[in-house]
Structures are given as structure tokens and as C-alpha cells.
Amino acid sequence: MGRGEYQTPHYNAAMRDERGFTLPEVLAALVVLTIIITVSFAAFLERNNRLQQAAEIMLAYQALANEAEYQRRIQYTLLIDDTESSDTDSSGSEFRSDTKLLEPLGDYGTSVKVNTVQPGVRNVTMTVRWRNGERIARLTLVRVDTGGLRLW
């Protein structure tokens, strides 16, 4: 488009009072807009992260509750204290229950550790780890030696 086309009387009349915005004005407006968008987006992301975290924790605690049902049923004498185990690096055993539910968490790990709190009382701690161990859900069950009573 040639420069001459802008020289028409009509165009000149229309543009006579047009000054437009200066660069600092436009930049300042953009900065304000960017701050607003960034804050809104950060809030949106945070909300989604929390929802996602809640969904993950819901899965993890379902698995923990299921495992607790199994650990609750094991005879007290068969609960081996990990500190008494010959394997000093023992990280506990894996879950006995079905953990297919945890598959959406990606690489996850489960462990069950037993430790004696006092004679006749043992804590069974079940742990689910995911996101390379960054996220952890844990549930501890207190088992008491009832002398083998079935209670049924």
C-alpha cells in the first residue's frame, strides 16, 4: 500500500485528533492484564491440583482401608515385628489386598510395617507412596494380643 493513499482529505480529517496510546501506556496495560490473567490461571491450576490430590487420596485411602481389613484378620502371633527381622534394610512387606485400584496413580509402592509398642501391643503401619514418593498416605492399625480369642 503506497503512502500516498493516506493523504486523502477524508483520511486526514479522521486522523487529525487521533493520538493513540504511547508505548509505556500499552506496556502498563499489558502488565496489569498479565498479572490478572496469571493470578486467575494460578487460582484455576491450584483448584485443579487440589481436586486431583483429593481424587488421588481417595484412591489411596480406599486401598489402605481394604488392606486394614486384611491386617486386622491376621493372627497376632503371625505379625512379625520388622525391627526384629533379620533383614536390617527391611522396608516391610507389600499389601495383601488387591491394589489394582491404585494403577491410575502411576508408579506407586505399598508397604506394611509392624513394630512392637509394648508387650502385647503392635502397630501395623500401612503406607502408599506415589509420584516418586512425593505423595504419601499412611494408616496405622493397633493390634493387641488377646490370647488368641476369636471373639466370634
Please give the radius of gyration of the chain, using alpha carbons only, rounded to the nearest integer: 32
Strand partners, 118: 121
54 belongs to the binding site for other proteins (CB under 8 A): yes
Check residue 97 for interaction with other proteins (CB under 8 A).
Answer: yes
**Choices 81-89, 93-101, 112-120, 122-130; region in contact with other proteins by CB under 8 A:** 93-101
Cα 141 to Cα 79: distance, rounded to the nearest angstrom: 12
CA 37 to chain centre: 25
The nearer residue to other proteins, 70 or 80, going by C-beta atoms, is 70
| Rounded Cα–Cα distance for residues 90 and 113 (Å) | 9
DSSP 86: S
- The reply to whether 63 sits near other proteins by the rule CB under 8 A is yes
Supply the minimum distance, in Å, between the C-beta of residue 65 and other proteins.
Answer: 7
Spatial CA neighbour of 94 closest among 70, 61, 120: 70
The correct pick among 3, 73, 142, 147 for binding other proteins (CB under 8 A) is 73
CA-to-CA distance for 143 and 114, rounded, in angstroms?
A: 10
- 48 makes contact with other proteins (CB under 8 A): yes
By CB under 8 A, name the binding residues for other proteins.
15-20, 23, 30, 34, 37-38, 41, 45, 48-49, 51-52, 54-56, 58-59, 62-63, 65-66, 69-70, 72-73, 97-98, 100-101, 103-104, 106, 150-152
